[in-house]
Amino acid sequence: MESVDGNALAGVFAEVFGGDMTTARGRCESCGRMGPVGEAVVYAQAPGMVARCPGCEAVLMTVVRADDRAYLSLKGLSFLEVAV
């Protein structure tokens, strides 16, 4: 199963966050690696989209898009750093 990257999350993240999140930087809770959302390893052929750490493969985030709502889980991130 080949992966894509965090650029594939741009559309649904724009809906959920109201703006671009691909340049936001996150810290992997499992290994401590920091990097932009755009560089996350993304499995987009799934019941939802799964973003994994490019370093250790741990799950960082999942996004499930239902018809009128989205479920966003940031379970594997220590934090997201967002420019404001």
Partner 1 sequence: MARAALLRRLTWQAATVLEIREETATARTLVLAVPDWPGHLAGQHVDVKLTSEDGYSAQRSYSIASAGMPVEAPLELTVQRVPDGEVSPYLVDAATVGDQMEIRGPVGGYFAWQPDDGRPVLAIGGGSGVVPLMAMLRTHMVAGAKMPFRLIYSVRTPADVIYAKELAATGSAEVEFIYTRETPSGWPHARGRLDAVRLSQLAYPASAAPHVFVCGPTGFVESVANALVLLGHDAMDVKTERFGPTGG
Partner 2 sequence: MPVVTRGFAGRGRSDPKLPPGQYLTEDFPVLSAGPTPHIDTSTWEFQIITESGARHKWSWDQLMMLPTEEPTVDLHCVTKWSKLHTGWRGVPLDTLFANVESAADYALVHAYGGYTTNLPLADLLDGQAWIAYQYEGEPLAPEHGGPARLLVPHLYLWKSAKWVRAIQMTTEDTPGFWETAGYHNYGDPWLEQRYYGD
The residues binding partner 1 (CB under 8 A) are 2-8, 10-11, 13-15, 18-20, 22-23, 36-39, 44
List the one residue out of 33, 81, 37, 41 whose CA is nearest residue 59.
41
Q: Which does 5 bind (CB under 5 to 8 A by kind): partner 2, partner 1, none?
A: partner 1
Q: Is 8 in the site for partner 2 (CB under 8 A)?
A: no
Residue 64 binds which one of partner 2, partner 1, none, with CB within 5 to 8 A depending on kind?
partner 2
In whole angstroms, what is the distance from residue 59 CA to residue 76 CA? 6
Shortest spacing between CB 7 and partner 1, in angstroms: 5
What is the C-alpha separation between 62 and 19, in angstroms, rounded?
18
- Stretches 12-20, 25-33, 43-51, 76-84: which one binds partner 2 (CB under 8 A)? 43-51
Distances (CA, A) of 49 to 18, 83, 84: 18, 24, 26
- Tokens for 54, please give them: 């490019």
